[in-house]
Chain A
Amino acid sequence: MNVYGIKAIYLFEMARTWRTLMQSIASPVLSTSLYFIVFGSAIGSRMAQIDGVSYGAFIVPGLIMLSLLTESISNASFGIYMPKFTGTIYEILSAPISAIETVIGYVGAAATKSVIIGTIILVTARLFVDFSIQHPVWMIAFLVLTSVTFSLFGFIIGVWADSFQKLQVIPLMIVTPLAFLGGSFYSISMLPPFWQKVALLNPVVYLVSGFRWSFYGVADVDVGISLGMTFAFMLICLAAIWWIFRTGYKIKA
């Protein structure tokens, strides 16, 4: 086990986070604050409660999820895309470090950053709306699990992308719509029956639902199913990464 190697990659990636503090941490916090001001305070005060939770508080878990997804993907994909783009990946490939160790370094750093951002948003949200967390341990578990899973997904996108445009296309065209339609701003029980069924095909629904359950004890789908689906998606990502390194796909000639 090349612990020094994992540490080197992890610290390199974290250094990148601190170096780009404004764009990597300040901007997601700012944009989320805007959501709270508009939806939480301004519009939310005129909305009815959902499942016994005020609208402002209701959207907190969904908004954190939204940031976790987008930040995990963009950070992890950029982290592995850049060495490919500049060519510095030669060093990773020639180092005595295994695929798993490389992934732990990159994905670990991306997930760490997401957890930091999620926590900051949580604290920021508390300034705008009043809420409590019923199951703090589960809340942290969902926070970490989602960060890791979507950092893995981001890593895959970073390997797959061979242009900056491709790097943006999946987060923008697929993940953002899924996140918005995944019940961040509403309960899927508010949808017509047909669309409720369609919504269940959206993996983000399970994440948001499970995460919201850890806050307020209410959920669109059973929390066990939420957890199971998150794990299932993580396994799919891990399998894809295993395949990438086994075949050298887009990394190794």
Chain B
Amino acid sequence: MKPLDHTRIQQASGAPDPIISVSGLSKTYASGFQALRNVDLEIRRGEIFALLGPNGAGKTTLISIICGIVNPSTGTVTADGHDIIRDYRPARTKIGLVPQELTTDAFESVWATVNFSRGLFGKPANPAYIERILKDLSLWEKKDAKIMALSGGMKRRVMIAKALSHEPKILFLDEPTAGVDVELRRDMWAMVRGLRESGVTIILTTHYIEEAEEMADRIGVINKGEIILVENKHVLMQKLGKKQLTLHLQSPLEALPAALQSEHLQLSTDGAELIYTFDTQSEETGIATLLRRLNEHGIDFKDLHTSESSLEDIFVSLVRGRS
């Protein structure tokens, strides 16, 4: 039964060799809260995958199960072909995790804690490699500092260094830029891209839609423990995106003439702008007709521009549509 399902999913997603494969995964906590409902998900080798969802959607639970921190109720997960429970050693060796909370030791030095992580994951000491990670993350100067003496942003870097210490092939970043300043966020994005180039698969969860929009190859939207959709970012934007045409009027209107009333056309509250929403996918956008009819009604405009809806709009409408 299971292997059959598996092949079906593989065919459906068109990815013959997923690095992570989640099937039929559910999790109900002891409190009775169902955090995940029958989740199927495949992560492709070498991609940056963004898991997008509101608070309590199940993002962290999903990651925690894959990383071995939470036991699944039902379902299976494989990482690089290894079952995460039966074959946990090779599976976990491949995975690095940067959790959401800044959970670090206080009294250890940066150098000690990063080397500890490497050992914990079963790798022999490699000071040269650790040095390179610390330098890449601008932590080298702080290597002998106690962790508690570091700023929040620096602690975040330490946690990334710990996650990378054992040279994982898969990196999970749980809300990596929550509460992080602009500079660190930029550094982090650069680092993520660099890692991807070196062949690391990256899965990040985020609230910041701009982050998913900027970074991800594919986006999975999760809500109430269910994966609503998984789609290539550009396809998603195209498929669900709306375009808006904004007309800046010559003179403000009191109200929209009755003949022009339509669900696609709205007058801004100050009456100075008309906003026309249209579907990018449809053959007929209706713009030409709109402009002609405005002319007929003697409505002049001095400027116009179009804008595409952001991923944020798409996301909000998706989540609303489901709830």
Contacts and interface: CB of A to CB of B under 8 A. Distances in A.
A92 to B, nearest CB: 7
Nearest to B101: A87
A123 to B, nearest CB: 29
B90 interface: yes
A216 B315 CA distance: 78
B121 interface: yes
Nearest to A88: B103
Contact of A93 (B69, B93, B121): B69
Interface in B59-76: 64, 67-71
Which of B103, B106, B118 counts the most A-chain CB atoms under 10 A from its CB? B103
A133 interface: no
Nearest to B68: A94
Interface in B106-146: 106-108, 112, 115-124
Given A8-B116, A87-B101, A88-B105, A96 B30 contact: no
Which of B67, B70, B120 counts the most A-chain CB atoms under 10 A from its CB? B120
Given A4-B122, A96-B92, A91 B162 contact: yes
B71 A90 contact: no
A188 B114 CA distance: 52
B88 interface: yes
B97 interface: yes
A101 to B, nearest CB: 10
Nearest to A94: B67
Contacts of B123: 4
Which of A2, A7, A11 counts the most B-chain CB atoms under 10 A from its CB? A2
A74 B38 CA distance: 43
B71 A91 contact: no
A88 B95 CA distance: 17
A97 B68 CA distance: 11
Which of B64, B70, B122 counts the most A-chain CB atoms under 10 A from its CB? B122
Interface of B: 29-30, 64, 67-71, 88-93, 95, 97, 99, 101, 103-108, 112, 115-124, 162
